[in-house]
Structure formats: structure tokens, C-alpha cells
Amino acid sequence: MDTSLHTMPNLFLQLGLDNDEQAMSDFILHNQLFDNEPLQNAHIWTPAQAAFIEECLAEDSDWAEVVDQLNVQLHG
């Protein structure tokens, strides 16, 4: 499996979010989730974003690893 294109900046692009370092840091800082809040159910997502995240996790897609990384950072 080639995950070279599945980076955090590319995930932010896939989600329609700004993906420069400062924008990603600000997003993570200002959108911390509760410990028991599933990433895909977070209030911060549009329905399309939530569906993409849920699909990535449910199907263990090529994006799953970087989605997991975002999950850890938002629950930090």
C-alpha cells in the first residue's frame, strides 16, 4: 500500500480545510474533542466530512492511518 500521498496536509485538503502548517495547528488547537467523542461524530464536521472520516475508519482505507493521527491530535 502506497501511503505517500496520505499526509496530514493532504487530509486537510481532502476535507476542504486550509492545509498550511499554521492553519492545521490552529484547527487542532481550537477544535479539541471530548475524550469519549468519536472523531466522525464531532460537531466540527460537515455531513460530507463526517461521512468521509467514517468511511476511512470503517473500511480501513489508505487514509485510515492519517485519520487516526488526526483523531489523536484532536483528543490531545
Amino acid at 49: Q
Does pLDDT of 54 surpass 90? yes
pLDDT at 56: 95
Question: Is 20 or 76 the better-scoring residue by pLDDT?
Answer: 20
Mean pLDDT (the chain) is: 94
User: Residue 42: pLDDT band by 50, 70, 90 thresholds?
Assistant: very high
Length of the chain: 76
What is the pTM (predicted TM-score) of this model? 0.90
Q: In the chain, which ranges are continuous DSSP H helix?
A: 8-14, 21-30, 47-58, 64-74
Residues 6+ away with beta carbon under 8 Å from 10: 19, 66
Instruction: Evaluate whether 65 touches 6 at the Cβ level (below 8 Å).
Output: yes
Percentage of residues in the chain with pLDDT exceeding 70?
95
Query: What is the pLDDT, as a whole number, of residue 3?
Result: 52
Domain spans in the chain, listed from the N-terminal domain onward? 8-74
Q: What architecture is domain 8-74?
A: Orthogonal Bundle (1.10)
